[in-house]
Each structure stands twice: as structure tokens, then as C-alpha cells.
Amino acid sequence: MRLIVPALFSTFLAAPFVSALPEITRTGKYLYDESGTRFFIKGIAYQEPGQLPAEVPEGEFPEPTTFIDPLSQPSACDRDIPFLKQLGVNAVRVYSVDASADHSHCMSVLSDAGIYTLIDLSLPVNGSITRVGPTWTSNLLTLYLNTIDTFSQYDNVLAFNIGNEIVKDTESTVAAPFIKAAARDIRAYIKSKGSSALVGYSSTDGSGWRDPLAHFLTCESEETSIDLWGLNDYRWCGTTGSVADSWQESITAFTDLPVAAYFSEYGCNTVSPRPWAEVPSLYGTEMSAVYSGGVAFSYFPTNDATSFGMVTVTETAVTTTQDFTNLASQLSSVTVPTTPAQGSGSTLPLPDCPSVSTTWLGSSTLPPTPNQAECDCIWKDSPCVFSPQTVNQSALFEELFQSACTYLGTSGGSCTPIGQNGTTGVYGEVSACDGATKLSWVFSQYYLATNNNAQSCDFAGNATVNSASPTTASEVNAAVSSCFAATPSVYTPVKPTTVLAPAGHTTGTGGNGGNGGNGGNTGSAAAIFADSRALAGVMVAALCVLGSGALIF
């Protein structure tokens, strides 16, 4: 049926924030509120879809190239809050946000409605640790920290997700050290801000690599571990599923996991309408021994052929489906367990990290904490710097890195200092910098190797001599080495000063059934950052590889 948000209720929702939600913390493998009562996530995915790529590999879930920030649209939040309350959810998961936007209204009315947020830090296309040629660099860290700064003022941020489905097969387990390094640095930063927000990761389901990944992200040290393991699970379909047939395998696999676990997505849609028959069992005794609830997928319809949505929307109205009604009915009948009590011995020992093997490619030696100040220092002391002549730089980066490293190699140099290898655990001295700084470093090394020949600092007009830098190889190398002298390789990140402009951001709500196709102005997904140095840092992630798993960017 069609329901319109009443004007009076919208006015009420717009009232200033006056109350605070209870702080949710983790003790061992369970979540608790301030009273010591066990907390379960009764959530829904809340992200209006952006545009999809023209071609999607067979069997792959389409990943958008643009996004709509649902927490920056006051009227849309006012429209949707009554329906989120009708569903009975206490959390929403949001996959992409614009750190530069104003989220105060939506976060306030969600808090007033008793709804927490699970916020993914990554952005579509270029704002994430990649599966192929993964890196952990200063520009990506800055992107994540800016989002944390934006949302740390609100009382209803339950967790920040550092990644979603980055690892999906054996080959992509090479990304695991970079995910764990992100968890280490984000955790330290959140702690330094006095925030109680948890650090999470959401994994796709699979065999062979899924369980080692969960244990790798929680192994050896609390300081390098996630707090919240999310599993995107679609095994229970219709009314024929059961705990034994659908979930017992994952219960057994994660019984010894020392952190909280939940389904970061669930809701198989091979049966339509979805009866949500799995909900009572998800919050039942067997599952609650390991899991702390889940996030139903999805409030808005998705843009693929088999939509998961439970509503369609216009700017002012919401039309619910039978999926919505069924989920609301199931969630309203749930009585969550209250055991174990907080402090009753639920803390488990941290597991050992899995060793590198033919089925696990991630080293337990992690990349360093990226430091933008060090990268700025290197840029300043580079005699030949990257100065692109085109705005559309993605193809340019591949060509420049390949040619520059080839030229440097023929001159007796090497690009090893800018390489990152997640399997060997070897990370070059300049490897944590943004791509443009690394490119400038390579340009400079070649320029110096050719005795400062002006033609060696051209690269088809994409390089410029920096007259303010040192001019001899010994002076440049000494200056670059001094850039790393003041800060240890692992440290608590400092507040970034770079202002990032997210890619693919669309403002407004689509009037075409919630698919976002007509939802305002769509930005370019290639332009995550306004600064070309930052853009270079994320565009070349899968372009230039030095040996197995050793990316030069």
C-alpha cells in the first residue's frame, strides 16, 4: 500500500536533537549497551543505488560507479523514518557517504528514532582497498579519516566498516594485510578521538579463504584486529531453510572467533515475496551463541535484474511491498536472548595468524601507517614532479608508471622503493604515499640518473622540473631519507588537513522507483579527490605490477 509521510510527523522529526542513544560496546564476542544488556543488530541496508557499469562479469553482483548519500538528504530521511520504525529496525547500514556534506538532520532524526548507523568508509570505483594490486596509502587513509571526523560527533554511529567483500577468492587474499593495516590505523584513530565506534569488515560468503580471513583479521593483537566481523549470507531461502542446513557450518567456523559477528547482509530472494522465515532463528538461542543479529538487504530496490528492495519511493511518498510487511511482522515477534551477561567470561584468546600457503596469500607482516606529511616532504624534495596535462588521467597513469619504471631500470635504478607486496610482506620506503608522489619519485630518480637532463623530466609534457628542490642525487636521497626520520612506521594517524571530494556523488532522491537514475546531479566516479595527487593515488592501484603482488603505486 501507499503511505505518505504526514506533515505534522515530518515537523516533529525535524526538531532539534535532545536525547542520546545508549553507547554500544564490545566485550569479547558480544555487544552490550550501557546497562550491560546484550545488544543485537536488527538492521536494514539503507542506500539508494547509484549507476551501474555498462558491463558486469557473469555471476558478479554489480558494483555501482556512483552513489547517493542517504544521510545528507533531510527530506528523504523524514520520508523514510516512519517506515524504518514500522519495520522495527534499530540500525541502518550505509555503504557510501560524502564526508563534506551536512548529515546533522538525518543523524539526529535517526537517533531520535532509536536507530544506530553502520557506516562503510569506502567509496565506489577508486575509494577502496582493491582486490587486484591492493595498497594502503596516504590518500585512502585521509579519505577514511575525513569520514570518521564527519560522523564522530553523532551518538548513533555503531561501527565504521573498513571494507566490503574485498576478498572473494584465494587470489584476492593478498589484500588481507592491507585490510588489517587499515583496521589497525582506523582503530587507533577512533580511540584517539575518544569514540566508542567499532571497527568492522564485511565479507562475502565462500569456502577455503573465508574462515582464514576472519581469523586473520582478529589474530595476534587487539590493536590490529577488527571488532565486528560481518558476513554477507544468503544461504537461507524461503521457508525451506534451517539452522542445521543453512547456518550450522558458519556457527561451527566462528565459535572461536574472539570478536562480535553478525550478518552484514541477509535475505535470499529466490522466493518472492520473501517470507523472512529465517528471522526467528537468526535471533534464536543457537545463532545467538555466535552471532549478534543482522542487516536485511535492502530497503531501496537495487538496480540489477533481481531487485532486493522492499519499497519504492518518490520525493514525498513510500510504497511498501509484501517483503516489507513480512519482515516487519517477523522482526516484531522477535525476543532476543539476554545471555551471556556482560563480564561473564565471554572473552576468547586471539587466534594465530594463518601462514602464507597456496590457499592463503596474505603475510602477517603489515604495511606501515601512511603519513601524508612524509609524502608532502618527498614531493617538495623531488627535482622532477608529476604535472599532468589532462583531467582524465586513468589511462595516463598506467603508461607513465610503466614507461618511467622501464627508463629507470635501463639507467640502473629500480622501482622497488614504491612497491607493496602483501604476500612477502615487503613494503618499499615510499610505498605508502599517494600515486602522484610515487610517480614524482620515479621521475626524479630517472632525471638524476641522466645527470639532470631536461629532456628526462618531460614524459610527454606530464613532468616539470622543481627548481626549489635539491639538485644532486646525494642531496635528494638524503632529503628524502630525512622525510622518514621523525615518525615510526606504525603510529596513531593525525587529523588530516586534505579536503576530499567524493566521486560519483548524486544529490537528491530518484523519482523512478528509488533507483536513483533521475536523482539529481551525478558526479564523475573518476574524480574522487579534487587534488590530482590524491586522484593518482587511487587510479593506478591495479595498473602497474612489479612481480607477484608487488604493486608500484
Three-state secondary structure string covering 273-297: CCCCCCHHHHCCHHHHCCEEEEEEC
Which cell is 531 given? 587534488
Among 369, 380, 495, CA closest to 437: 380
- Preceding omega of 22 cis (within 30 degrees of 0): no
Which cell is 378 given? 618527498
Which cell is 183 given? 583496521
Among 182, 184, 211, 186, CA closest to 197: 186
Distance, CA of 363 to CA of 354 (rounded, Å): 8
Burial status of residue 507 (CB atoms within 10 A of its CB: 0-12, 13-18, 19 or more): middle
User: Residues 220, 222, 227, 232: what is their CA dihedral angle, to the nearest 10 degrees?
Assistant: -20
Kindly give the pairing relationship between strand 2-4 and strand 317-320.
antiparallel
Backbone angles phi, psi at 376, to 5 degrees: -60, -40
Among 270, 199, 210, CA closest to 241: 270
Among 219, 214, 288, CA closest to 253: 214
User: Residues 165, 128, 44, 13: what is their CA dihedral angle, to the nearest 10 degrees?
Assistant: 180
Is the separation of the CB atoms in 380 and 469 below 8 Å? Answer: yes
Which cell is 344 given? 561473564
Distance, CA of 218 to CA of 49 (rounded, Å): 31
Q: Which residues are catalytic?
A: 165, 265
Distance, CA of 277 to CA of 268 (rounded, Å): 11
- Preceding omega of 307 cis (within 30 degrees of 0): no
